[in-house]
Amino acid sequence: MADKKQVPLRLSEKLYNEIAAWADDDFRSVNGQIEYLLTQCVRQRKKDGKYTPDTKYEKI
């Protein structure tokens, strides 16, 4: 298994709570959920070659 890098991450309390609830729904840890979401974003970017959000960025 490849070594994983530790990265400090600052999230607003509201965003953290949203991710924590989502992680709970998916039976993952918060760290696991964040890794899953980032992996999906990178895969999408590799597929499309660009990032195109569906909606305007809303600060959570």
Q: What is the pLDDT of residues 2-25, one digit of tens each?
A: 798 999 999 999 999 999 999 999
23-41 tens-digit pLDDT: 999 999 999 999 999 999 8
50 to each of 41, 53, 55, 56, 59, how far by Cα in Å? 10, 10, 15, 16, 21
Mean per-residue pLDDT of the chain: 86
Q: What is the pLDDT of residue 18?
A: 96
Q: Which residues contact 18 (CB under 8 A, 6 or more apart)?
A: 60
